[in-house]
Amino acid sequence: MLETVWRPHPGQRAFLESPAKIRVLACGRRWGKTDACAAEAVCNLLGPEPTRQLIVAPTLDQARLLFERVLELVEALPGPAPPKVRWTPYPRLDLAGRTLAARSGHVTRSLRGNGATHVVVDEAAFVPEKLITEVVLPMLATTNGRLTLISTPKGRNHFWRFFRLGESGEAGVWSRRAPTSESPFVPEAFLQTQRRLISDRAYRVEYEAEFLDSEGRVFPAEAVDRCLVPDLPRLPEPPFLAGLDWGRYGDPTALAVLCGSRDEAMLLDVRRIEAPSWSAQVGLVRRALEAYPGVRLLCDSTGVGDPMLEALRRSAPGLRADGFVFTAASKAQLIDNLALMLDRGALKMRPDPELLRELEHFEAREAASGHRRLGATAGYHDDLVCALALAAWRLPQPYRPTILLGQPRRFSAHAKL
């Protein structure tokens, strides 16, 4: 009956026909991953079994996309009575005793203990591994339920490991990888434009679904994954440190708020602030910071950033705000500090797909002058990364006495390595 409103393309059909208990689908953007899972969820809602389905994604907005697509398809069908739908505190629908709920990966405590017959993790490469292994898999254990992981790749992380289980046919896992071009619904011209707009590497990850390793990356995927947590380990407490990257040339302004120290920090908020005018942006920034008493802000004061900082100080007289001028050298210090913190797992954060993509596509290139040029791959933003790096730079550095043992060693220039 679903075929009257939705038909799979051949790649989607291969996925939908697999009977495996665990399926891993690694495909390029717009291939139709979300759509295929929505269609399958509809079949389960209308099927003979009493199903309890759950959609999980890094953010509730992302999970809601799939949920809304399910609703759209159900409502387009001529047959069933309309489902009972509730939107708060999270979307949930009930159709003749079969349920479907959409949750973000941030709510592990309330997810634990609930059984489900099917769980779909959308953007699975972007959720913390523990969410899958410690929360989702136990939810399926009692029901002998099915797990579907769909995502674009993000380096060689847990999603890649699940994918590889399928390649070797281990543990009953099925997996498939396909480029966006497999979908007949994506015009070739769109792909050609993307190919021109973004770097070769970003294109290979985002549209050809390649699991590229992190070699040469400023923020290696393994380091970023060390920092991802489904829940923050502690309650937020001062000192609060914020970083702000003013948007220019039509880019949005980005804000990040941390607490803790350079040894142990937590990301409390990271977001873009979009407003039609500079003054409206200043107002929104001020309001966003009101939630963090005593917050210290470091903002980009390069060029137009300087008058913006002045405007912000006038608008929020009590705010402790300082400027940071970006030069090739100062930006390198800022970024190196963030890279080091991520490498040590010193910054715990819940997954924000936008930030994670920016980190993945952030590059160091050799400029003609011999300097490293740091920034987003062409076609990508790096405003969230810059805001985060500014906030991280502001973090207090725990006191560490330097212990010198004897004379500093000197190395002969001719010493053999």
Residue 28 Cβ, how far from ligand ADP at the closest point, in Å? 7
| DSSP structure class, residue 349 | B
With 0-12 / 13-18 / 19 or more C-beta atoms within 10 angstroms meaning exposed / middle / buried, residue 189 is exposed
Between 126 and 160, CB nearer to Mg ion:
126
Q: Which is nearer to ligand ADP, 70 or 390 (CB)?
A: 70
Min separation Cβ 120 and Mg ion, Å: 11
Contacts to Mg ion by CB under 5 A: 34
Asked whether the beta carbons of 387 and 256 are under 8 A apart, the reply is yes
Nearer to Mg ion, 123 or 383 (CB): 123
Task: Give the C-alpha separation, 219 to 202, whole Å.
Answer: 14
- Among residues 112, 72, 117, 113, which one has the least CA distance to residue 91? 72
Least spacing, CB of residue 31 vs ligand ADP, in Å:
4
The answer, yes or no, to whether the previous bond of 239 is cis (omega within 30 of 0) is yes
Residue closer to Mg ion, measured from CB, 28 or 220? 28
3-class state of residue 312 by DSSP: helix
Contacts to ligand ADP from residues 29-88, by CB under 6 A: 29-35
The footprint of ligand ADP on residues 162-221 (CB under 6 A) is 185
Among 5, 9, 85, 239, binds ligand ADP (CB under 6 A): 9
Count of residues interacting with ligand ADP (CB under 6 A): 14
Cα torsion at 205, 152, 376, 338 (round to 10°)?
-120
Calpha distance 23→172 (Å, rounded): 9
Greatest CA separation for the chain: 84
What is the helix (H) or strand (E) element at residue 148, kind and residue range?
A: strand 146-151
* Residue whose CB is less far from ligand ADP, 45 or 308: 45
CB of 32 to ligand ADP, least distance (A): 3
Cβ proximity to Mg ion: between 34 and 51 the closer is 34
Contact 94, 82 (CB under 8 A): no
Among ligand ADP, Mg ion, none, what does residue 225 contact (CB within 5–8 Å per kind)? none
For tokens 């497999």, name the residue: 182
Binding status of residue 253 toward ligand ADP by CB under 6 A: no
Name which position in 2, 5, 6, 20 contacts ligand ADP (CB under 6 A): 6
HSE (side-chain half, CA atoms, 13 Å) at 320: 11
Q: Among 3-11, 199-207, 257-265, 394-402, which window interacts with ligand ADP (CB under 6 A)?
A: 3-11
**Site residues, ligand ADP (CB under 6 A):** 6-9, 12, 27, 29-35, 185
